[in-house]
Amino acid sequence: MEVQAILFDFDGTLADTMQRHFFCWKQTLEEVGVLINEGDYYPMEGSSLHKIAAKYTGSQEQEFINKLVVRKKKLYVDLYKHETLAFYPGAVELIQFLTKKYPLAIVTAGHEDQLRKTAPKEFLNLFANVTCGDTVKSNKPSPEPYIVACKKLRKDPRTCVVVENAPLGVTSAIKAGCYCIGVESTCDKNQLSEAHETITDIANLLNAKVFAYR
């Protein structure tokens, strides 16, 4: 396979933020009497914020769900007014290297305003484009986010590599026709079994089989 572009999930793949997201969901839902645990939350990553709120509360009341999403996003953005967003070891250096060789994209279920308020601008500028959960009609596991991102790059999905850390994201990438590498950062190899291959951490990306002949 001749790799022509690389698309990355953001949270849990490049950014070590999943515990922060869980904390904000936990606090938001506890305020309405709903208890959640970390183990159940991580495999849901990639789903839309509204679907996560609806699943945990069992509610289909749109106004109520919207309020929960707004509350969760505010808690998350406020966290990063007091701390710097953390990336996994080697992630920033990897992207700085890859952007000189391939068109890169971020494909995340997170909302664009949240991403741009918390992620360093100089890091986001290393990517050709960003596709967020509030800019597509259907979120992961639908193939739409990756199909849209590939179109923005003007690349055939079959020539694109996707790097994902969650089962829903892996399914989305596979359905879109991309080659998918699962990163075992928040989910284990069995949970990422649909991926073409898995790696233990993002710093080892270029050791993946698909890059053997780069």
pLDDT tens sequence across 132-161: 999 999 999 999 999 999 999 999 999 999
For position 162, what pLDDT does the model report? 99
Task: Please check whether residue 65 is in contact with residue 72, taking contact to mean a CB–CB distance below 8 angstroms.
Answer: no
Superfamily of segment(s) 5-16+85-211:
HAD superfamily/HAD-like (3.40.50.1000)
What's the mean pLDDT in 113-120?
95
3-state secondary structure the chain: CCCCEEEECCECCCECCHHHHHHHHHHHHHCCCCCCCHHHHHHHECECHHHHHHHHHCCCCHHHHHHHHHHHHHHHHHHCCCCCCCECCCHHHHHHHHCCCCCEEEECCCCHHHHHHHCCHHHHCCCCEEECHHHCCCCCCCCHHHHHHHHHHCCCHHHEEEEECCHHHHHHHHHHCCEEEEECCCCCCCCCCCCCEEECCHHHHHHCHHHCCC
Average pLDDT value over all residues in the chain? 96
> Of 38 and 108, which is predicted with more confidence?
108
Q: Is the pLDDT of residue 214 over 80?
A: no
In the chain, what are the domain boundaries? 5-16+85-211, 18-79
The residue-averaged pLDDT of 183-187 equals: 95
Q: Decide whether 5-16+85-211 matches 18-79 in CATH topology.
A: no
65 pLDDT more than 60:
yes
Name the pTM for this structure: 0.93
Least confident of 5-9, 47-51, 161-165: 47-51
Tell me what pLDDT residue 82 has.
87
Confidence band for 207, pLDDT divided at 50, 70 and 90: very high
pLDDT at residue 106, rounded to an integer:
99
pLDDT at 59: 96
pLDDT tens-place string over residues 160-180: 999 999 999 999 999 999 999
Per-residue model confidence (pLDDT) at position 211: 93
Q: What is the mean pLDDT of residues 67-96?
A: 96
Domain 18-79 maps to which CATH number in 1.20.140, 1.10.260, 1.10.150, 3.30.420?
Answer: 1.10.150
Most confident of 50-54, 102-106, 185-189: 102-106
* Higher pLDDT among residues 48 and 147, named by residue: 147
